[in-house]
Amino acid sequence: MKISPLQIERLKYEPKLPGMLRNGISEISVSEGEETRSVADQEKIQALFPNTYGKKEIVFAKGQNTSAAKKQVVGVILSGGQAPGGHNVVCGLYDALKATDKENVLYGFKNGPSGLLDDDYLVFDDEYIDQFRNTGGFDIIGSGRTKLETEEQFAVAAEVCKKHGITAIVIIGGDDSNTNAAVLAEYFAAHETGVQVIGCPKTIDGDLKNEDIECSFGFDTATKTYSELIGNIERDANSAKKYWHFVKVMGRSASHVALEAALETQPNICLISEEVAAKKMSLSQIADYIADSVAARAAKDMNFGVAIIPEGVVEFVPEFSVLISEINELLAGSKADAFNALATWDEKYAFIEQGLTKESMAVFAILPQTIQQQLFLERDPHGNVQVSLIESEKLFSALVKAKLDERKKAGTYKGKFSALHHFFGYEGRCAFPSNFDADYCYSLGYNAFMLIQYGYTGYLSKISNLSKPAEEWVAGGMPITKMMNMERRHGEDKPVIRKALVELEGKPFKYFEAHREEWAVGTCYLYPGAIQYYGPASVCDITTRTLALEKGE
Ligand code: FBP
């Protein structure tokens, strides 16, 4: 198979481990810290996790390896959306496992958690794994979004593990997948299966982080990829001086990706969903906010600009959320058939008008027709509107245009406004991992094996001190139950890892807030350029601005 010159070079790259893991397997010792408690709802979480709750934080160090000799047969699963570096987690895990004992075995369950339930797997060997070192994607074994959450599934998983003599499962996933890893660990412990479960923090969305997990892997590469593209668009905008670019960036719910891209590129506008919710902003207020920047720039003869829109923003607009729940209600059960049987959009519109409250109808009425229709076309398996599919970049540019037309009529605006639209998501999820993600992921996998070897279960592989050079990174593990609280999900109270939204009091947002007025009116664009893999560390090994600001750097 022909591969690209960059891939040839990347296959040879040697990822950097934390200093404490560098002296070889025989010199990795463990030290236990304090017992842990969940971030909230301690009694309830403890009651739900009697076998895995309250365990100690652990840190590895250079020293005599005292782990018990035992043949390890480990299964690994990639879960959810792709994130750059996933292959290196598997490579790090494999290398630590084989360095410990050549007889150890690594199974890869295919296409996500369903691979474990269907007993669909491959067994890794050097030849196979070596093709994937330092590459993007999850194609090494595939990924999927099946959730491992029911007792029946756990029982099947236990059977499959027993059949292959599996001693541990590593789940590489986001907050939901790691929540399920904790539940699986508890089940395996309660049923004395002897199978350990370790999680690894993955998601480009960056919303799996807390006081222990400094960032999820993939965020670094994905945001650098989007920032490169946004920087290029900014330069084009500043060259042609005739378009406003509306760029939607991924991040199903939290706006970490949008915020990081804004810090990297200094666009004219960046919406932050968490702020929209906190200020209870309406669609009209948001449109006015963007239109003010367009008008101010037009007054200086700059009829161009760049606005970043986070993927999940509409769900954070209070009036829009109400509209969505009314539409879900309006089409619940057989009512959807009655609606779909209507032949024309006019008839459908009349049906909608009758079913929505006056307030929601007022919101619905200002939406462009394509968006109105999207709200009725795309349903998830539960019959709900799939808000993530709404083209919010087009929605906001249309609303801004309407505002500018009004201002034109009133004689308060004389500029031109021509909008172009982009959606950056899939473009970044499988990029070659940056050096940071290549190193971080390899370390997470290597470290996950050390947790297994030392007998831990229900832990998340933890690498910290990440804003420093890899030599100074700290490797260890944290009980997943420590990150949990109870939340209402599908009408039930469930133990879950708390999702990290953008903190409006946090340093990254504060920096953005302090500069955005200047960026809105001026042309302060930054052009980060492509990710660099070879060259000075000051260019190749830099972390995200978010991480640097959070660490006070
Ligand atoms: P994870 O949370 O599973 O890492 O996925 C994140 C994400 O990339 C979101 O940014 C995006 O909204 C979603 O996945 C898209 O999902 P899909 O790949 O199923 O289209």
Give 375-386 as a DSSP string: HHH-B-TTS-B-
- Is 127 in contact with 115 (CB distance < 8 Å)? no
Please give the distance, rounded to the nearest whole angstrom, from the Cα atom of residue 174 to the centre of ligand 1.
10
Active site residue 493: no
Q: Is the C-beta atom of 15 inside 6 A of ligand 1?
A: no
pLDDT at position 492: 82
Nearest atom (ligand 1) to Cα of 80: 3
Pocket test for ligand 1, best of 205, 223, 423 (most atoms within 8 A of CB): 205
Residue 227 CA neighbour count, 13 Å, CB half: 26
* Dihedral sign of CA atoms 478, 480, 481, 484 in order: positive
pLDDT at position 495: 94
For ligand 1, atom 4: residue with the closest CA: 203
- Is 512 in contact with 270 (CB distance < 8 Å)? yes
* Dihedral sign of CA atoms 481, 485, 489, 491 in order: positive
What whole-number distance in Å separates Cα of residue 312 and Cα of residue 325?
16
pLDDT at position 333: 76
Q: What separation in angstroms does the CA of 21 have from each of 99, 126, 346?
A: 12, 21, 66
Q: Is the C-beta atom of 252 inside 6 A of ligand 1?
A: yes
Q: Is the C-beta atom of 222 inside 6 A of ligand 1?
A: no
Q: Pairing relation of β-strands 474-479 and 459-464?
A: antiparallel
Pocket test for ligand 1, best of 200, 226, 250, 253 (most atoms within 8 A of CB): 250
What is the mean pLDDT, run by run of 10 residues, along the chain of 553 residues? 93 96 94 95 97 97 92 97 98 97 97 97 98 97 92 96 98 95 97 97 96 96 98 98 97 96 98 98 97 97 98 94 90 84 93 94 93 82 73 96 96 95 96 98 98 98 97 97 90 89 98 98 97 95 96 91
Q: Is the C-beta atom of 80 inside 6 A of ligand 1?
A: yes
Backbone angles phi, psi at 548, to 5 degrees: -60, -45
Nearest atom (ligand 1) to Cα of 79: 3
What whole-number distance in Å separates Cα of residue 363 and Cα of residue 378?
19
Supply the DSSP symbol for 257: H
Q: Is the C-beta atom of 172 inside 6 A of ligand 1?
A: no
Q: Identify the active-site residue in 95, 175, 205, 207.
A: 205
pLDDT at position 376: 86
What whole-number distance in Å separates Cα of residue 511 and Cα of residue 493?
36
Please give the distance, rounded to the nearest whole angstrom, from the Cα atom of residue 429 to the centre of ligand 1.
9
- Is 462 in contact with 475 (CB distance < 8 Å)? yes
- Structural domains of the chain, with CATH: 66-218+433-457 (3.40.50.450), 219-429+506-550 (3.40.50.460)
* Amino acid identity for residue 553 in this structure: E
For ligand 1, atom 6: residue with the closest CA: 81
Q: What separation in angstroms does the CA of 442 have from each of 13, 107, 268, 543?
A: 11, 17, 37, 16
Q: Is the C-beta atom of 174 inside 6 A of ligand 1?
A: yes
* Spatial CA neighbour of 534 closest among 453, 394, 399, 434: 434
Pocket test for ligand 1, best of 177, 217, 252, 390 (most atoms within 8 A of CB): 252
Q: Is the C-beta atom of 428 inside 6 A of ligand 1?
A: no
SS3 assignment, position 332: coil
Question: What are the structure tokens assigned to 79, written together?
Answer: 């879960």
For ligand 1, atom 19: residue with the closest CA: 81
Nearest atom (ligand 1) to Cα of 250: 10
Sheet with 244-249, side-by-side order of all strands: 269-270, 305-310, 244-249, 419-424
The torsion angle over the Cα atoms of residues 516, 520, 523 and 526, rounded to 10 degrees, is 40
What whole-number distance in Å separates Cα of residue 465 and Cα of residue 481?
22
Query: Max alpha carbon distance in the chain (Å)?
Result: 81
Q: Is the C-beta atom of 251 inside 6 A of ligand 1?
A: yes
Q: Pairing relation of β-strands 28-35 and 56-62?
A: antiparallel
- Is 225 in contact with 427 (CB distance < 8 Å)? yes
Please give the distance, rounded to the nearest whole angstrom, from the Cα atom of residue 252 to the centre of ligand 1.
6
Nearest atom (ligand 1) to Cα of 252: 12
Please give the distance, rounded to the nearest whole angstrom, from the Cα atom of residue 147 to the centre of ligand 1.
14
- Is 250 in contact with 258 (CB distance < 8 Å)? no
For ligand 1, atom 10: residue with the closest CA: 251
